[in-house]
Structure formats: C-alpha cells, structure tokens
A = this chain, B = another copy of it.
Amino acid sequence: MAATPSIVTLSPKVQKLKSILEDFVENECIPAEKIFEEQLGNAKKGTNGRFERYPPIIDELRAKAKSLGLFNMFLPNHYPGYPTPGLSNLEYGVLCEILGRSTTLAPLACNCNAPDTGTMEVLVKYGTDAQKKQWLDRMLRGEIHSAFLMTEPNQASSDATNISTRIEKDGKGNYVINGRKWWITNGNNPRTELYILVGKTAPDHPEKHRQQSIVLIPRHTPGITIVRNLTVFVNDAPIGHCEILLENVVVPVENIVLGEGRGFEVLQGRLGPGRIHHAMRAIGQAERALDKLVLEATNPVKRPFGQLKADFQKVQWDIATSRMEIDQARLLVFLAADMIDKKGAKGALREIAMAKVIVPNVLQRVIDRAVQVHGAAGVSGDHELAEMFANARTLRFVDGPDEVHTQQIAKLELRRGQKLHKAFDGYAARTKVLEQGKKL
C-alpha cells in the first residue's frame, strides 16, 4: 500500500485514526471477506436467495469499528452534534482509500457505505427534526440501511430531467407515488428501512429544474414491489441492485424533503462532498489489484519459460504503468477533496469531474493488467479480481458516465477562451512595442 503523498500533511489526530483504521482493515475486514461470502451462501442466480439473510459478520465488524472510533468518518466537521471524528474531505480521502482496500466490507463496517452516506447527508442538511429522529439517528447508529430511488428503466439516466415517477397529492394530507425504478442499491437489503425517492410533483412546471421533489418512504409501505434483483456480471447481495415498482404508494406530506419542487437543490446538496467517495475508495481497490499483480509476478511457483513473471519486462511495464497511473489518480482525488474543503463543491467542479473520469478508468486498467498476469485464474472465482473488475466497470457509470464529466471539464476549460484571446493579443502588442526598440 502506497504511503500518503508527502504533500498531504496529516494532523496527529488523523495519523492515529489512520493507523487504527489500517489495522482494522488489514486484520479484520480483508480476512473477513471470505466469511462474508460463506455466510451469504450460494443463492440461485437472479433470485433473492442471497438477500434473505444479513450476514452476521457485518454486525461484528460494525460493533468493532464503533468501538474503535471509526464510525461515520465520512460526515465532515461542519455538522456539529453528531458522532463523527470531524474530518475534512482531504482527511477523509486518506482514510477512505484505506476503506477501499476492502471495498465489500470496510465501508459497511464503518457506516461509510453508499448510498447510506448520501442519505445521512440529506437528512443532516435538510431533514426536519421529526425526520431526523425517525431515520437519521438510527442510521448514524448503524441500525438501518437506506436506498436512493432515482434511476428509471428505459431512460437516459445521465440526464436527471427525464424522471417519470409521479408524486401526487391526494387531498388528504398524503402523497401518492407511482413509478418504476431500477439499479436501486440496498433496495432489497433486509435491513433497509428507508427509501428516499426522486419524482416529479410538478411535471409541467416551466422551469425544468423545479419539477422534481424528494420524499421519504418507509421501506415496507404497501404498493412497493421488488420486481427483481439485477446482476452486474454477478449478483452482489445483500447490498445488490434491484428493480422496484411503486404503485399507489402513500406517504404523509410531512415526508417531503425541503419542500416541493426543491428536489434538484437536495440532489446537489446530497452529492456535496460525497461526490468523490467512490473515487477515494477506488484508489484503495487499485492498490489492492496492484498488490495482487506484484504477488503473482513474484510467485515463486509460476515460472513460464523458467523465469519469474516479474522477470519479463512486459510485466514490469504493467507494474510501473499501474503505479504511475494510481499515484497520479490519488493526487487528483486528494486535490479534489482539498478543493471541496477550501472552495466548496461548486468551487471544485473541475477537480471533482477530473477525479470521476480518471479514477474508474485507472482502476479498470490496473485490474485488467492484474488479470492478464494471472492468466485464466484471474477471471475465475479463485481470485477476487473478476469481482473487482465487475465493480470497476460499473463505477464508470455511477454518478454519471465518463462522458458527462469529460464534457464538464471541457466546458470549464473553454471558458478561458476569451481571457486567452486577450492575453495572446497582448503578447503580440507587446512584441510590436519591443520591435520598435523599446527597452524592457
């Protein structure tokens, strides 16, 4: 595992936390991964089997993480009154990478897993006291999970204005919700108690960004049907991703978040610092993949043509290239985190977008190289690489595809156009002055 880059300075408090966390991830989470898999059991592909049981190892790990002060690290220090170490985004970035080494278990163990982090941020920022009491407190204690119901089937989901789910008043103090959602992480998790849903209260509102609202729905409200669990290469219960049908689901109007027509505002706030959590964790995943690559390259048993794999220059280039890509990606993630700390999410738009494009692509490439060095074993269930690959590939869509963020970066860069034309015209003008013999 690469050390934190020297240009990032950690306070003694964070250094200590980091050391505790490293110990927890290396000695508890990673070794527990196999236990987790065994406890999940082998359910039929595409059925709910693997979702019927909440593996006890998670509760054990959560208890331990809480006792070690590792719970809720994601909550930044500007939310007073909540049980969190109070970290800056940069500090959390450093720790989140360590969580990412055991991406299946460590974030969950530390109550820092998506989409719960986003839900908690929404409730902290916009929740009423009643909403907080009902949901947030239990979530911060790690008792329940939540799901975020936004994406809909057959929509170009990278554009959020396309949502078709309806949230309608029934005139009796309730909202009635109808729609279909999919890719709902945690939707079928047996511990999930809260659905946080994006729909349209005013589909005809002339301002496209005022049509949406967000409401809180208790998981077991009548009218909710889990249609099926989706697979991503493999299925990954209990968190998983499912398709959910909502038919005349009724919740009291108090369950609105922030107010009608303010869905976009909440969405922005929800994604504040959380925007780069995936990227932070992905760095840890990439390091683990590179570890696997180096392990295989130096495996004394594997000697194609009489040499260690590490003796082949091609393998050395795979290693060096991965190291260079990861180290650069990490710096970018830390830069984005630091920009959020210093200028807020809006001031860090460019850095966030860059991290979102670069990191999942780097992760996919590093894992792909690790797979290649392993040979066929690398795509089998014998190594975690195949599963890591599936996650990495998916990451290139999570929070919007590469394409959306790349476009965003270009847009920001192109804004410099006018200033640049002025500067370069200035160079030419100054050259003319100098040509006429003017002294510097």
Q: How far is the CA of A318 from the CA of B310 in the complex (A)?
A: 19
Q: Are B358 and A297 in contact (CB under 8 A)?
A: no
Residues of B within 8 A of A401 (CB): 372, 375
CB of A51 within 8 Å of the partner chain:
no
Bound-complex Cα distance A346 to B68 (A): 37
Return A18 CB to nearest CB of chain B, in Å. Answer: 17
Interface assignment of A227: CB less than 8 Å from any CB of chain B: no
Asked if A297 contacts B414 (CB within 8 A), the reply is: yes
> A46 touches which one: B27, B42, B158, B309 (CB < 8 A)?
B42
* B294 and A414 contact, CB distance less than 8 A: yes
Report the bound CA distance from A317 to B295 in whole Å: 24
Given contacts A295-B424, A335-B7, whether A158 and B397 have CB atoms under 8 Å apart is no
Say which residue of B44, B61, B157, B159 sits within 8 Å of A440 (CB atoms).
Answer: B61
A152 to chain B, nearest CB (A): 11
Count the copies. Answer: 4
Residues of B within 8 A of A5 (CB): 335, 338
- Which residues of B lie under 8 Å from residue A151 when comparing CB positions? 376
Residues of A whose CB lies within 8 Å of any CB of B are 5-8, 26-28, 30-35, 38, 42-47, 57, 60-61, 63-64, 90, 151, 154-159, 162, 183, 230-234, 290-291, 294-295, 297-298, 301-306, 309-310, 312-314, 316-317, 319-321, 323-324, 327-329, 331-332, 334-335, 338-339, 342-343, 350-351, 354, 357-358, 368, 371-372, 375-376, 379-382, 386, 389-390, 393-394, 396-398, 401-403, 406-407, 409-411, 413-414, 416-418, 420-421, 423-424, 426-428, 430-431, 433-435, 439-440
Between-chain CB contacts (< 8 Å), 21 pairs: A6-B342, A7-B334, A27-B426, A28-B440, A31-B428, A31-B433, A35-B431, A38-B435, A159-B305, A232-B376, A233-B233, A291-B424, A297-B417, A312-B313, A320-B357, A320-B406, A320-B407, A320-B410, A323-B354, A323-B410, A324-B358
